[in-house]
Amino acid sequence: MSAQPVNPNLPPDHVTVFIDGVELAAPKNSMIIQAADKAGIPIPRFCYHDKLAVAANCRMCLVEAEMGGRMSPKPLPACATPVADGMKVFTRSEKALKSQRNVMEFLLINHPLDCPICDQGGECELQDLSLGYGRSVSRFNERKRTVPDEDIGPLVATEMTRCIQCTRCVRFTGEIAGTYELGGMYRGENLQIGTFDGKPLTTELSGNVVDVCPVGALTNKVFQFRARPWELIARESLGYHDAMGSNLFLHLRRGEVLRTVPRDNEAVNECWLSDRDRYSHQGLYAADRALKPLQKVDGEWREVSWAEGLAAAAEILDAHRGDALGVLAHPSTSSEEGVLLARLAGELGSGNLDHRIHTRDFSDAPVAEPFALPLADIEKADLVVVFGSNIRHELPLLHQRLRKAQTKNGAKIHAINPVDFDFAFSLAGKQIVPPSKLAGALSDPALLEAAKAANHAVLLVGAIAENHPQAAALRQAARDFAAATGASLCRIPQGANALGLARNGVLPSTRDVASMFAEPRAAYVLYGIEPGVDFADTAAALKALNAAKVVAFSQFACASTRAVADVILPIGALPEIDATLANLDGVDQVAQAGGKLPGEAREGWRVLRALGGQLGLPAFEFADLEGVRALTAAAPAKLAASATPAVAGEGLELAVVPAIYRSDAVVRRAAALQAHPLNAGARVLLNAADAQAAGIESGKTAKLHAADGTATLPVTVSDRVPAGVAWIESGYGATAPLGAGRVKVVAA
């Protein structure tokens, strides 16, 4: 055979391959199935997945191949056979088709063939391929085997008798999630997939095993038996519980969101979805959903018409114009709603406007910034420093990209945190220090030298640092580190649309959120906020709100909103409205309205337009959403700043970390997520030495006394917490009184 390439005009790293007579150029060492997929030539498969390592254990992709005039003596698996220059591949030859049909017959031997009652029916790869490659009559007469099911948690349902041992789920939990929770047990015909220890899946990405499973062995437990795929309508939407902005589809039936599935976008979430984004739709239908306008009359709540509710809200705002009014928005509020909130505040003469409700230190006038390099490029870094973040819980899919950077590109990952968090990648170095020493740890000489020597270093700054009482010093330390080493500085925006709201002027020119509570206003607008748990300083927030007139635009009429508000106007959540969110790359992404608005709830922009009209404001004369999008609201020329708060109190330093499934009102109401093992509940974790000094044992209850409040919490003693630190998770009502700073811990 000639050593000359078939096509000398190809790049040197490509070869010519012929698949079913079609001439293709394919990268060297790529597999036949990859070349065929690129050309749109179908090859059946079950175990192959383009994001997972090749297993070649289902053999459904068997093809014939010819090299140098010689036909392969046996059919070859297309997923595990690399292309070669001049190779001829036959996917539909008599031998290939016979082999594929024989494999299908073997796969169906033990399958229960229960398609009519299977949740995967209608979107099942096995069902689809059996139509083309299966026999109408089975030749198998022996007894089918059965496999006992495991309860692997509240999110994924199992029917393991349907399993064809493709091992996609095993490879996902090992390669992508990094938890290695699923594996093959026993041998031969007794092989079964399970968790070894019989415990629920703990990965924050567990729902993806439903997507990769080609049969009905692993299905969505929340969606189970709710609907058939052909009954569902898909709407393009976005994840709104973190700044990633994961692309997804909402699947609806008669206006109800029944499930959420990923929408491919290689620049953002690839083909994956975090459990938080996948299952949070449950929270949309909580019992305390705001369905009608509510007004407090003589201390009692009563349902009113929209005309009455808007009139009551307008009366409050009209009577408290100018500096007497404060406007506060949740950082997941859409850009369209943000523009109108900024215009409302401006027309009413108030410069007291903010969305940075989790921030504690405003002395450097912080605002969200886009990542210094695209999200997808972070996995190409050779050194990453995770600074003040439980990245696995804060941004699950960014954590997954860091794992990919390490496993595929050999990236060295360092962590500087107040708690030794559990990551799914190994750390090249870590510094676990009290919160007050985080800035000093970032200037470690060895770390600086390693970052300088790296070709592509990245510094990720997370919620612990951004929401620290002395966050300005930490942000400055991060900027100094990036300047000294050339590292790309990536500050994680604290909210799903923090970037979009900052761009659209939802920022103060007079008072930030901390100043609004330190010097209480006479009236407030709360937009999408659950006041009992969403503010950084709950005690100060509730004190100010309880003494003021409050108009609440809210998805939920929760107890804490009812306690402080005078009027509650029900608005739609993101899955129910057309909206724009800016992700951490600074890219504006659009979500379509999916779910039906419950009761008399309305899109937020419509309510704001109606309120502006009620107040007679000139900036609200538009007819539709396109009219809103044509509006712009620039950020103030000079952003208001306030003094660095003092860390009051005595005792242990508080390490306040956002709880993964307590990030916002919708997630907090998703029952399946609240039952997940990662949702550990309100508690305090102490170092053994600190617990012993306080005379407290693990499992007992302690009182934590802070400057602004007291909390009673169960205690867990852990060596993941350094001496002198008490670790709590925010998002729980029980931990909300503590704020930040220091606490004195005593036995209850």
Which residue pairs from 51-56 have beta carbons closer than 8 angstroms and sit at least 24 positions apart in sequence?
Answer: 51/176, 51/270, 51/271, 52/168, 52/171, 52/172, 52/175, 52/176, 52/212, 53/171, 53/175, 54/79, 54/80, 55/166, 55/167, 55/171, 56/80
Per-residue pLDDT, averaged over 479-503, amounts to 97
pLDDT given at position 196? 86
**Residue 702 within any structural domain of the chain:** yes
Strands 192-194 and 183-185: antiparallel
Residue 18 sits in a domain of what CATH number?
Answer: 3.10.20.740
**Residue 118 within any structural domain of the chain:** no
Given a contact cutoff of 8 angstroms between Cβ atoms, the answer to whether 570 and 313 are in contact is no
Q: How many CB atoms lie within 10 A of CB 740?
A: 28
User: Measuring CA to CA, which residue among 361, 358, 388 is closest to residue 646?
Assistant: 361
Range with the poorest average pLDDT among 308-317, 434-443, 616-625, 645-654: 645-654
pTM of the model: 0.94
pLDDT given at position 615? 95
Task: Decide if pLDDT at 30 tops 50.
Answer: yes
- CA atoms of 578 and 146, how far apart (whole Å): 47
Please tell me whether residues 416 and 561 are part of one structural domain.
Answer: no
Give whole-number Cα distances, 653 to 391, 650, 681, 723, 740, in Å: 21, 8, 20, 9, 8
- CA atoms of 103 and 62, how far apart (whole Å): 9
Q: Which domain holds residue 358?
A: 294-364+498-629
Given a contact cutoff of 8 angstroms between Cβ atoms, the answer to whether 32 and 89 are in contact is yes
Please tell me whether residues 479 and 392 are part of one structural domain.
Answer: yes
Per-residue pLDDT, averaged over 574-602, amounts to 97
* Residue 275 parent element (H or E): helix 275-279
462 CB-contact burial (10 Å; exposed 0-12 / middle 13-18 / buried 19+): buried
pLDDT given at position 649? 66
**Residue 5 within any structural domain of the chain:** no
User: Measuring CA to CA, which residue among 400, 368, 396, 284 is closest to residue 583?
Assistant: 368
82 CB-contact burial (10 Å; exposed 0-12 / middle 13-18 / buried 19+): middle
Residue 1 binned pLDDT confidence (cut-offs 50, 70, 90): very low
**Residue 634 within any structural domain of the chain:** no
The domain boundary residue, chosen from 245, 268, 285: 285
Please tell me whether residues 385 and 351 are part of one structural domain.
Answer: no
List Cβ neighbours of 126 (8 Å cut-off, separation of 6 or more): 46, 107, 111, 164, 214, 215
User: What string of DSSP letters covers 672-685?
Assistant: HHHTSTT---S-EE
Residue 487 sits in a domain of what CATH number?
Answer: 3.40.228.10
- CA atoms of 338 and 341, how far apart (whole Å): 5
Please tell me whether residues 354 and 503 are part of one structural domain.
Answer: yes
Higher local confidence (pLDDT), 89 or 135: 89
pLDDT given at position 637? 72
Written as six digits, the tokens of 731 are 């998002």
Residue 537 sits in a domain of what CATH number?
Answer: 3.40.50.740
587: left (phi over 0), alpha (psi -120 to 50) or beta: beta
Given a contact cutoff of 8 angstroms between Cβ atoms, the answer to whether 111 and 78 are in contact is no
Per-residue pLDDT, averaged over 494-516, amounts to 96
For the segment 452-480, what is each residue's pLDDT rounded down to a tens digit? 999 999 999 999 999 999 999 999 999 99
pLDDT given at position 388? 97
**Residue 170 within any structural domain of the chain:** yes
pLDDT given at position 653? 94
Please tell me whether residues 487 and 502 are part of one structural domain.
Answer: no
Given a contact cutoff of 8 angstroms between Cβ atoms, the answer to whether 250 and 240 are in contact is no
- CA atoms of 318 and 63, how far apart (whole Å): 75
Please tell me whether residues 157 and 241 are part of one structural domain.
Answer: yes
- CA atoms of 294 and 561, how far apart (whole Å): 11
Compute the mean pLDDT over every residue in the chain, rounded to the nearest whole number.
94
155: left (phi over 0), alpha (psi -120 to 50) or beta: alpha
For the segment 340-390, what is each residue's pLDDT rounded down to a tens digit? 999 999 999 999 999 999 999 999 999 999 999 999 999 999 999 999 999
Task: Decide if pLDDT at 669 tops 80.
Answer: yes
Per-residue pLDDT, averaged over 16-34, amounts to 94
Task: Decide if pLDDT at 507 tops 70.
Answer: yes
Residue 155 sits in a domain of what CATH number?
Answer: 3.30.70.20
User: Measuring CA to CA, which residue among 103, 71, 90 is closest to residue 22?
Assistant: 90
Residue 3 binned pLDDT confidence (cut-offs 50, 70, 90): low
Nearest-10 crossing angle of helices 604-615, 335-347: 10
Please tell me whether residues 225 and 166 are part of one structural domain.
Answer: yes
CA dihedral sign of residues 209, 29, 404, 489 = negative
Task: Decide if pLDDT at 642 tops 90.
Answer: no
- CA atoms of 265 and 337, how far apart (whole Å): 26
- CA atoms of 586 and 139, how far apart (whole Å): 59
Residue 623 binned pLDDT confidence (cut-offs 50, 70, 90): confident
Please tell me whether residues 657 and 737 are part of one structural domain.
Answer: yes
For the segment 260-272, what is each residue's pLDDT rounded down to a tens digit? 999 999 999 999 9
The secondary structure of the chain in percent helix, strand, coil, rounded to multiples of 5, reads 30, 20, 50
Domain count, the chain: 5
**Residue 128 within any structural domain of the chain:** no
Task: Decide if pLDDT at 10 tops 90.
Answer: no
Residue 55 binned pLDDT confidence (cut-offs 50, 70, 90): very high
**Residue 175 within any structural domain of the chain:** yes
Please tell me whether residues 152 and 279 are part of one structural domain.
Answer: yes
The domain boundary residue, chosen from 85, 107, 129: 107
- CA atoms of 219 and 205, how far apart (whole Å): 14
User: What string of DSSP letters covers 531-573?
Assistant: TTTSSSSHHHHHHHHHTSEEEEEESB--HHHHHH-SEEEEB--
**Residue 172 within any structural domain of the chain:** yes
What type of residue is 151?
D
Residue 748 binned pLDDT confidence (cut-offs 50, 70, 90): confident
Please tell me whether residues 268 and 417 are part of one structural domain.
Answer: no
Please tell me whether residues 527 and 487 are part of one structural domain.
Answer: no
Residue 683 sits in a domain of what CATH number?
Answer: 2.40.40.20
For the segment 211-230, what is each residue's pLDDT rounded down to a tens digit? 999 999 999 999 999 999 99
Please tell me whether residues 245 and 351 are part of one structural domain.
Answer: no
* Cα angle 123, 124, 125; round to 5: 120
pLDDT given at position 237? 98
Cα 194 vs. chain centroid, distance in angstroms? 26
Give whole-number Cα distances, 21 to 72, 93, 142, in Å: 17, 12, 42
Q: How many CB atoms lie within 10 A of CB 303?
A: 14
pLDDT given at position 648? 63
The domain boundary residue, chosen from 227, 260, 285: 285
Per-residue pLDDT, averaged over 22-37, amounts to 95
φ, ψ of residue 295 to 5 degrees: the values are -135, 140
